Homo-oligomer: A and B are copies of this chain.
């Protein structure tokens, strides 16, 4: 309908065509630009032409009709290919037919799009010409039947099952099981059947005219841009509708035209180790899909690799020395050109080498690190590029033991990959048993329906944690990540029988003490002990992290409170503690006793007397913490969880507690029941505890300050008040802190400076950040709770439907893992702006789980926060992500 002026219609590449790749991926699509670029630097790419993206939009505007100008221009494009191939083959020529492939190519790789049609140009006549020219009728008829099947499926929209069924019937009839056992005549008959299927299903004969075939394939590619799957993908990834897709039409080449033909795949470096040596395999007289199909075993590319593997046959280096040498030269060229390790597909057709595709090679974490560091040393890339080139997420793999990829494994259940690393050990069903067995030196895996703060000691004692319930941010997951313990959470098919002391997983029933292995990177639970690979923090790791830190950006702190975790944090380069959770200290050793006494006290006096027992313990804890952290900043959060979390849940514990406190079991149970909450997340916790029981905060502040005064180096102290919703709350708690401090200083005859600040973890606090900043010297965004309250989403309960939510495109990713930028993110940005307006020097950090997530780090870096704080094991990930954010911001800034 709309008759628009179209830009230069087709863009040829290969042969004597001038390079067009500078038109860019937006115009040519990713695949087209890639081919044009390789052709431009003189590589032997099969010639072709690109139908650029604007024609996709024109197609849609014209009501899914190919523009007339395009139809008119296609013969020119084909003429270019014919000329460039130079074999005299012509599109549709019955004697010497030119075959082409037709591929889609949007600006970015996109699932849901039509991919490829191969062998286009075959019909009842040209197939005979191909048979004669190749001297291989079976190859020609197999190509034709594949073409009909592929075209029928992706262009004509027929169910591929129809073709597969016909193929199976034929094989049954011939009494064979493999496709390869079918003869040329069999395949000729199959083509007849396939053509019949097409006619029966579409009501029209299969298009015999190669020109019509081409128009159909191009229209199908353009049409697939509007498919439901493609639309959903675009919406989720913010890809505009009007980008459109390009189409690349390219001459077919064949690696199966005799012993001077071959096909192969190569990496310019070893993608597993990162070592600089050619890695790959090839097959003589074969097509690309034969390598994948695994019918024949491919040979090695290099002689060294063949000898190392002790493989029979010849390597390509030995069998085709000239072509191999040409290939090696091309590898060098491609690495220099793209400045990265390449993954290359090539075909040798009767002694002529063709490069079909090159792309950045996927690689393991270890390889990524080694390649980045090596390439800096080779002068290929700068340190900045090296820092940007390693995905922070994969560093995690380097810091934990992983399963030996070669080891056998029997998976008995699958849950969520809640904390990375793998671990083997004996099943234990409660914390006490975990501690007992671990005390005897046994490796154990703690298996629970779900964990609670009572399980902390058992989780510490265990090598890994497995739960039947709970999501990626359940208690088990969060604590495990904080401790660096592998964890699989929410393995819903497990049935834990606490009385029989067994765990049932499908048909398998395991007893306490039986050995299992969990993989916190995949969520798999395996029977027995699976072999592991220990992490090797090689010199490359340290080199890269030093480069990362040199690029500044956000500081990285750790969420830690035990001396062990604090030491881990420093070892991983943390620049302070962003969140020391004082409540974790109350679960250790003999502290739970006085803590429970304090909670069950029925008067302020009784509570004070119990607190007096806790004081020296907390003071000693803080002393150890300060000794590890020196003068680095340490943010200590006052008691946060609801008190009932510290009370027992089991009958035996009630009895023990009652005896210890000299109360009746009924009294202990009644008080426990009184403390029950319907929604503990929104209950009597955080600063609400301080306001109702100021004596708890007084004890904690005293312990902190007495320890700080006694420390060798005066710590850089930040006292943090949790769950503040109003300015007045912080004002009241601050009064208690300052008053207690003055008392302690007067007793000691010495002062020290400290900051008082608050978590911003409630939507109201984010809104009123200006008022609150008048009383707070720092904010730490508690994005876990802020996500829970802003979205009204309990992280412990959301696992049941969060999967469906991600599937339905409501959340692109789990909002507890990656910050919900539009919602929670706006709260953070609002509070940042309002807080800094009220107090220009306000120190800002983030201490939720998001503090270790690269995408969330990039977001808060852009807001100008001062630091992120994450679990000690995530510190390297955060350092790298912070450096990348700083580098990208620098690049985005005009010079």
B761 touching A682, Cβ below 8 Å: no
What is the 8 Å Cβ interface bit string for chain A, positions 670-709, against chain B (1 contact, 0 not)?
Answer: 0000000111111110001001100000000000000000
A820 touching B732, Cβ below 8 Å: no
Q: Give the shortest distance, in Å, between A836 (CB) and chain B (any CB).
A: 19
Q: Is A793 an interface residue (CB 8 A)?
A: yes
Chain B residue nearest to A685 (CB atoms) is: B792
B764 touching A823, Cβ below 8 Å: yes
A677 to B790 Cα, complex, angstroms: 19
What is the 8 Å Cβ interface bit string for chain A, positions 721-759, against chain B (1 contact, 0 not)?
Answer: 001011011001000000000000000000000000000
Q: Is A801 an interface residue (CB 8 A)?
A: yes
Q: Is A717 an interface residue (CB 8 A)?
A: no
Taking CB atoms and an 8 Å cut-off, the chain A residues in 788-831 that contact chain B are 788-794, 796-798, 800-801, 804-805, 808-811, 820, 822-824, 826-827
A723 to B790 Cα, complex, angstroms: 11
Spell out A's residues near B (CB within 8 Å).
677-684, 688, 691-692, 723, 725-726, 728-729, 732, 761-764, 767-768, 785, 788-794, 796-798, 800-801, 804-805, 808-811, 820, 822-824, 826-827
Which listed residue (B681, B732, B808, B823) contacts A725, Cβ 8 A? B823
A682 touching B794, Cβ below 8 Å: yes
B728 touching A793, Cβ below 8 Å: no
Kindly list chain B residues whose C-beta atoms are within 8 Å of the C-beta of A811: 726
Which listed residue (B764, B790, B794, B808) contacts A679, Cβ 8 A? B794
A793 touching B682, Cβ below 8 Å: yes
Could you pull out 18 A-B pairs where Cβ atoms are within 8 angstroms? Answer: A677-B796, A678-B797, A679-B682, A679-B788, A679-B794, A680-B797, A682-B788, A683-B797, A684-B800, A684-B801, A691-B801, A691-B808, A725-B791, A761-B792, A763-B790, A764-B824, A768-B823, A789-B789
Kindly list chain B residues whose C-beta atoms are within 8 Å of the C-beta of A796: 677-679
Most buried by B among A788, A797, A809, A823: A797
Q: Give the shortest distance, in Å, between A490 (CB) and chain B (any CB).
A: 12
Kindly list chain B residues whose C-beta atoms are within 8 Å of the C-beta of A804: 691-692
A688 to B800 Cα, complex, angstroms: 10
Kindly list chain B residues whose C-beta atoms are within 8 Å of the C-beta of A763: 763, 789-790, 792, 823, 827
A767 to B768 Cα, complex, angstroms: 14
B679 touching A681, Cβ below 8 Å: yes
Copies per assembly: 2
A729 to B809 Cα, complex, angstroms: 9
A820 to B791 Cα, complex, angstroms: 19
Kindly list chain B residues whose C-beta atoms are within 8 Å of the C-beta of A681: 678-679, 682, 792, 794
Beyond the given A679-B797, A767-B823, A767-B827, could you list 6 further A-B residue pairs with CB under 8 A, ordered by the A residue number? A677-B796, A679-B682, A692-B801, A729-B810, A761-B792, A762-B792
A517 to B796 Cα, complex, angstroms: 42
A826 to B810 Cα, complex, angstroms: 26
Kindly list chain B residues whose C-beta atoms are within 8 Å of the C-beta of A764: 790-792, 820, 823-824
A804 to B688 Cα, complex, angstroms: 9
Which listed residue (B680, B725, B762, B823) contacts A678, Cβ 8 A? B680
A768 touching B822, Cβ below 8 Å: yes
Kindly list chain B residues whose C-beta atoms are within 8 Å of the C-beta of A785: 792
Chain B residue nearest to A732 (CB atoms) is: B808
A682 touching B797, Cβ below 8 Å: yes
Chain B residue nearest to A686 (CB atoms) is: B792
A274 to B684 Cα, complex, angstroms: 46
A794 touching B677, Cβ below 8 Å: yes
A793 touching B678, Cβ below 8 Å: no
B679 touching A728, Cβ below 8 Å: no
A57 to B692 Cα, complex, angstroms: 36
Kindly list chain B residues whose C-beta atoms are within 8 Å of the C-beta of A761: 792
A393 to B726 Cα, complex, angstroms: 28
Chain B residue nearest to A675 (CB atoms) is: B800
Q: Give the shortest distance, in Å, between A731 (CB) and chain B (any CB).
A: 9
Most buried by B among A679, A792, A797, A824: A792
Q: Give the shortest distance, in Å, between A552 (CB) and chain B (any CB).
A: 32
A732 to B764 Cα, complex, angstroms: 29
Kindly list chain B residues whose C-beta atoms are within 8 Å of the C-beta of A677: 794, 796-797
A789 to B761 Cα, complex, angstroms: 11
B793 touching A725, Cβ below 8 Å: yes
A723 touching B682, Cβ below 8 Å: no
Q: Give the shortest distance, in Å, between A150 (CB) and chain B (any CB).
A: 34
A335 to B785 Cα, complex, angstroms: 58
Kindly list chain B residues whose C-beta atoms are within 8 Å of the C-beta of A723: 792
Q: Give the shortest distance, in Å, between A115 (CB) and chain B (any CB).
A: 28
A788 to B725 Cα, complex, angstroms: 11
Kindly list chain B residues whose C-beta atoms are within 8 Å of the C-beta of A728: 808-810
Chain B residue nearest to A824 (CB atoms) is: B764
A680 to B683 Cα, complex, angstroms: 13
